[in-house]
Amino acid sequence: MRSGAFSDEPSPAADQHEGDVAGPEPTELRWRVSPGFAAMKCAVTVVLILAAVFLADDHRALTAIVVAAVVAGAYALRDVLAPVRLAADPEGLTVVTGYAGHRRLAWDEIERIRLESRTRAGLRSELLEIDTGDTLHLLSTYDLNARPADVADDLARIQSLSGRSA
């Protein structure tokens, strides 16, 4: 089941690229989680907490619901604390690391940026891989709120403006 926040139709540039500069060739782009998807995670957490209140007499159900609420809440909190998962400019990239941290990578530190596509059970998934040699940063459609292939193209264009290549 797909959320309406992830339709196959292209979304407006303002939804995908926070901080675009006016004109056809922005040099600083940001990709963030969908605000709608983050709100859905918050709503699921609230619903689970309410369900826990109503099922307080059934200890097994209560335990399962509390665990689910904690997990959903943790994912929702991450979306609130670190909504921007990837930012790029001619100097390099800023990627999300750990739970809600960020790491700045100069273009010289990046060995390779590639697209990983897989098809399983009839469903196709794509990941954007940013390889520094020491670390591998994986970003999905849900992290970027854009197709990873489109993001890879944008990164190649921005990197070419810097005069460096991965």
Q: What is the pLDDT along the chain (166 residues), one digit of tens a residue?
A: 333 343 333 333 434 444 444 455 667 899 999 999 999 999 999 999 999 988 888 889 899 999 999 999 999 999 999 999 999 999 999 999 999 899 999 999 999 999 999 899 988 889 999 999 999 999 999 999 999 999 999 999 998 887 665 5
Same domain assignment for residues 116 and 132: yes
79, 108, 142: which is the final residue of a domain?
A: 79
Q: Does the reported pTM lie above 0.85?
A: no
Tokens of 16: 């995908």
In a domain, 31, yes or no: no
Q: Which residues pair with 123 in a beta bridge?
A: 120
CA distance 14 to 111: 29
Same domain assignment for residues 70 and 98: no
Q: In terms of residue numbers, what domain contains 54?
A: 38-79
CA distance 128 to 113: 7
Query: How many structural domains are present in the chain?
Result: 2
46, 79, 112: which is the final residue of a domain?
A: 79
Same domain assignment for residues 135 and 103: yes
